[in-house]
């Protein structure tokens, strides 16, 4: 900390957020480009907004269920109130999808996503309330992890570990995640600076498309300019025949090479943002290097490399922080655990969904009613959809390559067959 920062900080009260959060200083989040970049202003850059909204909404839209089971048997624990909280409603004013989306968006920008855990008289989770990360400071006190919350009125409130759901992104110490916006501050600042420059370039600069030259001077150019614009200005007059005086000439202006290179540089920064969020550029609407041949593989890469690792981290965090040790190791009906229904990712892909159903039906894994249930359709009447089918030519793995056994002949049946097949000789 520099001497001037120390002098100014010394005059701040403890209740002032600037005394403990340097990101609130105007100097702290300023990038080299001169743009003020923090977790909120960065969202004004379209690529960052698109990345945060895409990842958070994709994960939050997946059904999250509280399951119970052990070994091969699993069931939906819909009789547990925690399943209602995480699947339907976080609190009286917020749906579960909205709450999870908000918390994941905080992780993607600040590095941590906090929510207060409200329990009922029986100790079960009843509500979850999101907390803005910039107001939270985790610390160790007497060997226990606590979270200090700076309230809007300046008061500090300490919450124990058991009352806070903390989702952590990539981290150095396992408690406080790296701010993705802070890590990408130079790239985001440069992109925002280019947006600001382009807005001022077109808003305040002079960029005529053509000029009319003539010999001599014009006493009153206003009537000429008005008549010229009315006759040839606008899209509707683009193909009209232009009539000029004998000494008048038209000189057209084309886009300068440096202006064209400026547009290409803006596209390059979209790829930089995509790398920071680990998503394919086409997900940020940059289709310059995409085609129908590689879009499908890039979508698979997005789900495998971006979404699935996040789902594993979220499920483990929910299990550890929302379930008690007894619930995680229940016997009898089995332990409780959270699980995302990734089949929701296939809803928009009819071909992939059809291929999955066909393979599962052919192998007897699914019955027809199972498919109808996944498609949110009613089952067939009279339990007709409960039957399972397999292909007749399938065999056991240990019997593969063996000669087929000769058919067994029932005693007495062979003589009857021979008599019926004999043909009298003439």
Q: Which of 229, 219, 282 is nearest to 50 (CA)?
A: 282
Report the pLDDT value the prediction gives residue 159, as an integer from 0 to 100.
94
Report the pLDDT value the prediction gives residue 7, as an integer from 0 to 100.
33
Long-range contacts of 385-388 (CB under 8 A, 24+ apart): 388/364
Strand pairing report for 89-91 and 73-76: unpaired
Strand pairing report for 112-119 and 156-160: unpaired
Tell me which residues of the chain have a pLDDT lower than 70. Answer: 1-34, 71-72, 200-209, 234-239, 253-268, 290-294, 296, 331-332, 344, 346-349, 376, 397, 400-401, 410-426
Rounded to 10°, the helix 46-61/96-109 angle is 140
- Site of tokens 């709450």: 99
Separation CA 210–CA 15 (nearest Å):
60
Tokens of 385: 């959809």
Q: Are 117 and 93 contacting, i.e. CB atoms less than 8 angstroms apart? A: no
Query: Domain extents for the chain?
Result: 14-207+257-342, 208-252, 349-397
CA 307 to chain centre: 7
Report the pLDDT value the prediction gives residue 326, as an integer from 0 to 100.
86
Rounded to 10°, the helix 308-322/46-61 angle is 60
> CA angle, 267 as apex, 266 and 270 as ends, to 5°?
95
Report the pLDDT value the prediction gives residue 339, as an integer from 0 to 100.
92
Q: Are 192 and 45 contacting, i.e. CB atoms less than 8 angstroms apart? A: yes
Report the pLDDT value the prediction gives residue 133, as an integer from 0 to 100.
94
Tokens of 3: 């001497």
């Amino acid at each position: 900390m520099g001497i001037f920062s120390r002098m100014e900080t010394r005059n701040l009260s403890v209740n002032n957020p600037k005394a403990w959060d340097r990101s609130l200083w105007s100097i702290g989040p300023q990038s080299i480009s001169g743009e003020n970049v923090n977790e909120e202003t960065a969202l004004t850059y379209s690529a960052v907004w698109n990345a945060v909204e895409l990842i958070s909404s994709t994960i939050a839209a997946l059904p999250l269920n509280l399951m119970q089971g052990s070994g091969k048997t699993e069931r939906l624990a819909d009789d547990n109130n925690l399943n209602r909280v995480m699947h339907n409603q976080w609190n009286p004013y917020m749906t579960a999808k909205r709450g999870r989306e908000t918390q994941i968006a905080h992780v993607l920008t600040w590095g941590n996503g906090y929510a207060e855990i409200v329990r009922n008289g029986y100790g079960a989770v009843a509500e979850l309330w999101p907390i803005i990360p910039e107001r939270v400071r985790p610390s160790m006190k007497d060997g226990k992890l606590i979270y200090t919350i700076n309230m809007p009125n300046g008061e500090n409130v300490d919450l124990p570990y058991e009352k806070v759901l903390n989702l952590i992104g990539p981290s150095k110490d396992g408690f406080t995640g790296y701010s993705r916006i802070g890590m990408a501050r130079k790239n985001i600042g440069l992109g925002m600076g280019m947006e600001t420059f382009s807005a001022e370039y077109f808003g305040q600069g002079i960029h005529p498309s053509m000029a009319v030259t003539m010999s001599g001077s014009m006493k009153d150019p206003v009537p000429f300019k008005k008549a010229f614009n009315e006759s040839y200005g606008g899209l509707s007059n683009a193909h009209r025949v232009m009539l000029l005086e004998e000494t008048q000439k038209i000189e057209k202006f084309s886009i300068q090479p440096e202006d064209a290179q400026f547009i290409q540089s803006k596209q390059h920064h979209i790829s930089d943002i995509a790398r920071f969020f680990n998503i394919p550029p086409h997900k940020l609407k940059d289709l310059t290097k995409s085609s129908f041949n590689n879009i499908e593989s890039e979508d698979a890469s997005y789900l495998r490399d971006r979404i699935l690792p996040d789902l594993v981290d979220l499920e483990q965090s929910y299990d550890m922080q929302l379930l008690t040790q007894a619930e995680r190791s229940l016997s009898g009906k089995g332990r409780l655990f959270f699980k995302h229904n990734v089949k929701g990712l296939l809803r928009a892909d009819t071909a992939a969904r059809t291929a999955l159903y066909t393979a599962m039906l052919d192998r007897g894994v699914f019955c027809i009613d199972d498919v109808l249930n996944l498609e949110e359709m009613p089952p067939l009447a009279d339990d007709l959809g409960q039957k399972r089918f397999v292909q007749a030519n399938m065999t056991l793995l240990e019997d593969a390559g063996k000669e087929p056994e000769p058919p067994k002949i029932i005693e007495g049946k062979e003589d009857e067959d021979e008599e019926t097949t004999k043909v009298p000789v003439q």
